[in-house]
Amino acid sequence: MSGAPDEFQLIADLFAPLARSYPGALNLTDDVALLAAELGFETAVTVDAMVAGVHFLPADPPDLVARKLVRVNLSDLAAKGARPFAVMLAAAFPRGTDMDWLRRFGDGLAADVGEFGIALIGGDTVSTPGPLTLSLTAFGRVGEGKALLRSGARAGDTIWVSGSIGDGALGLRAAQGQFSQLEASHAAFLAERYRLPRPRVALGPELIGLAHAGMDISDGLVQDLGHLCRASRLGAQVEAGRVPLSSAAQAALAEEHSLLATVLTGGDDYELLFTAPPLASPAILELGTRVGVAVTAIGSMVEGAGVTVLDAAGQAMALGRGGWRHFSATGMGTGA
Amino acid sequence: MSGAPDEFQLIADLFAPLARSYPGALNLTDDVALLAAELGFETAVTVDAMVAGVHFLPADPPDLVARKLVRVNLSDLAAKGARPFAVMLAAAFPRGTDMDWLRRFGDGLAADVGEFGIALIGGDTVSTPGPLTLSLTAFGRVGEGKALLRSGARAGDTIWVSGSIGDGALGLRAAQGQFSQLEASHAAFLAERYRLPRPRVALGPELIGLAHAGMDISDGLVQDLGHLCRASRLGAQVEAGRVPLSSAAQAALAEEHSLLATVLTGGDDYELLFTAPPLASPAILELGTRVGVAVTAIGSMVEGAGVTVLDAAGQAMALGRGGWRHFSATGMGTGA
């Protein structure tokens, strides 16, 4: 972190306490952080970028922006079975960002550093004439050779998801005030799910030894399952009726059934998608209960290629490509 | 890297070969990269962000933008004595960035991945309505407990710099066409030094065992030496006349002597600044010859605080704060 008065000094003051628990952070006063080697473990590293107006709403509360940034990255680590221990932040703040905004952003970062037991071990802060642009590098610990890869699925594996699907994509619409007919508590639940993902950090590491493959759902269930299929050189068959929905999502679908496509292909779920042999199902259900995260079997990996989603009549649904495209997309999307 | 057609596919095609040498990159087809643990070594990690119009000129050749991004980070690692092995890229490309631009950016990245023997092990690509915004996380290997920290200097240490100082700051002016009276070859040399730093990757790791403290000069010699002084709770005395200047910088100063302040406090040097006991001087000079990088003693660490720069008459020079401020600065600067 570069030193200078005013905003930079404030940032330094806000960030320094977040590094204290990790000696290799060198109190954020050096050019690098130092990660110790632990025999028998690998370090899983991921980076995700977020741009105001693209990945979050410019008016979103600053603390939630910081927390979302942390959480989308921790979700990637959790999906691999890695336990997060540190993050590094590169932030380009618009010129004239006010002190109160920065303070609230720092508060959000501090909240999640505390909640997830991680440390902020370094970063870079610069100014930009453009929108707020953030990137976070996150570090996790995973047993050597144990990480749950996209490529590990086997034909016959059961496909599982954590939590509920579609809340993020519906939540974006709710946050934009598009669900005027929906009960206020449902709309608020969905918007909260969009703004503050819940990375499944307790579940992911426990899946090692049970699951064959894993990833997190950030681009949309169908799209991400497609990625997993390609990496594993398999196909997938999913029953739409088994995809777990929150009460709020069910209420939204009751109003407008065509939203089912949004649920299945919309982004920002940050739930885990994993595959496991059918024999592991009882242990996985028991694990879900133990860590307090719903786990639901939604289909099977099959020989072949591509994702087929079957409707209640057993017919393949036409969902288009599904998932967000980031670069040329004009709407909101996630780069995770 | 998220998959999608068009620009995203091009980026994936350009980047995939850069990952091949590192198995833990998982061919850029997974959510994380996996770093193996090596007993007796630590992983040094650094991140630097660059914004078009702030840290490089928007019209700069795209291959040089990519290479500068890599090099400012490798410079940080070199200063710690770490050998670089990998980088991760988070890139927010403006909407409508053309294919040719991306291809040339990829070429630059490939050139430096090859030149420095590193791998691109992951990243994230998103779109932005704002300027091109890049952040790179770089990983290096360093012996456990051996990294050259800012805090390691001792009173009586000799202060050294690599290469020549001030070329980057003068080079920015040259790149902007401000040196109309300077010989064209000198102006071109300075502009090249601004656009394409030379991280001292051969020198840095060899300083372990010789130097007590190290950092790279990115914010300006005086400013960065000030950082080192604060971290080491010491002061520094530098003789301006001993600060090594390139022929081009000498020519520029001959035209306009007041540029000496720019040389001493301007950013973008990406040279190494290190301190070592006087007894190590012969070995350091021999090392410089061996790796082909000039090394010059410019002063000493002293009890006290702050940086004093003495002119030819032995008088302390008034240099102001020196160094770039990033956040509220209106000019160009580096966030390193």
- Taking only the tens place, the pLDDT of each residue in A262-294 is 999 998 999 999 999 999 999 999 999 999 999
Considering only A10-19, B114-123, B233-242, B287-296, which range has the smallest mean pLDDT?
Answer: A10-19
For the cut 60, the answer to whether the pLDDT of residue A135 exceeds it is yes
Choose among A29, A147, A327: nearest Cβ to B127.
A327
For chain B, give percent helix, strand, coil, nearest 5: 40, 25, 35
* CATH node for A150-310: 3.90.650.10
3-class secondary structure, A281: helix
Amino acid at position A106, single letter: G
Closest CA to A300 of A163, A165, A154: A154
pLDDT of residue B45: 98
Q: Which sequence spans correspond to the domains of chain A?
A: 6-143, 150-310
What is the DSSP pairing of strand B133-143 with strand A119-128? unpaired
Contact B31 A150 (CB under 8 A): yes
Amino acid at position A112, single letter: D
Distance CA A106, CA A163 (A): 28
Chain B nearest C-alpha distance from A284 (Å): 22
Question: Which of A169-173, B95-99, B181-185, B243-247 is predicted most confidently?
Answer: B243-247
Distance CA B46, CA B152 (A): 19
**Minimum Cα–Cα distance from A76: chain B residue:** B31
pLDDT of residue A1: 39
Residues of B in Cβ contact (< 8 Å) with A231? 29-30
| pLDDT grade for A179, boundaries at 50, 70 and 90 | confident
Per CATH, B6-143 and B150-310 having the same topology is answered no
> Among B126, B136, B271, B273, which would you mutate to test the A interface (most chain A Cβ atoms within 10 Å of its Cβ)?
B126
Q: Around Cβ A41, how many Cβ atoms within 10 Å? A: 18
For the cut 80, the answer to whether the pLDDT of residue B275 exceeds it is yes
Task: At B319, list the tokens.
Answer: 């240099």
Give B42-77 pLDDT, tens digit per residue: 999 999 999 999 988 888 899 999 999 999 999 999
For the cut 60, the answer to whether the pLDDT of residue B3 exceeds it is no
For the cut 60, the answer to whether the pLDDT of residue B327 exceeds it is no
- Please list, in sequence order, all residues whose beta carbon lies within 8 angstroms of the beta carbon of residue B216, skipping any fewer than 6 positions away: A31, B75, B76, B78, B79, B199, B200, B224, B269, B270, B271, B272, B273, B336
Q: Please, are residues B190 and B252 in contact by the beta-carbon 8 Å criterion?
A: yes
Contact A80 B33 (CB under 8 A): no
Q: Report CA-CA distances (Å) from B204 to B48, B143, B149.
A: 19, 13, 12
Q: How much is the pTM?
A: 0.91
Check the CA dihedral A172-A177-A178-A182 and report its sign.
positive
Chain A nearest C-alpha distance from B66 (Å): 17
For the cut 80, the answer to whether the pLDDT of residue A320 exceeds it is no
Q: Chain-wide mean pLDDT for chain A? A: 91
pLDDT of residue A321: 55
Distance CA A168, CA B225 (A): 48
φ, ψ of residue A66 to 5 degrees: the values are -60, -45
Give B9-24 pLDDT, tens digit per residue: 788 888 999 999 999 9
Check the CA dihedral B64-B65-B67-B71 and report its sign.
positive
Contact B126 A91 (CB under 8 A): no
* Continuous H helices in B239-310: 247-255, 260-265, 281-291
Fold of B6-143: 60s Ribosomal Protein L30; Chain: A; (3.30.1330)
Q: How far apart are the first and last CA of chain A?
A: 25
Contact A123 B47 (CB under 8 A): yes
Residues of B in Cβ contact (< 8 Å) with A77? 32
Choose among A33, A49, A139: nearest Cβ to B92.
A49
ipTM comes to: 0.90
Task: At B228, list the tokens.
Answer: 């080192």
Q: Around Cβ A181, how many Cβ atoms within 10 Å? A: 10
φ, ψ of residue B62 to 5 degrees: the values are -60, -35
pLDDT of residue A95: 87
Residues of A in Cβ contact (< 8 Å) with B227? 3, 29
**Minimum Cα–Cα distance from A51: chain B residue:** B128
| pLDDT grade for A332, boundaries at 50, 70 and 90 | very low
Distance CA A43, CA B33 (A): 8
Closest CA to B83 of B49, B150, B38: B38
**Minimum Cα–Cα distance from A72: chain B residue:** B31
Element (H or E) spanning A88, and its range?
Answer: strand A83-94
What percent of chain B shows pLDDT beyond 90?
81
Give B216-269 pLDDT, tens digit per residue: 999 999 999 999 999 999 999 999 999 999 999 999 999 999 999 999 999 899
Note the Cα B191 to chain centre separation in Å.
15
Distance CA B135, CA B54 (A): 13
Contact A92 B39 (CB under 8 A): no
Q: Which residue has the tokens 């091949």?
A: B20
**Residue spans of beta strands (DSSP E) within chain B:** 33-36, 41-51, 83-94, 119-128, 133-143, 158-162, 213-217, 235-239, 271-276, 295-302, 306-310
Q: How far apart are the first and last CA of chain B?
A: 25
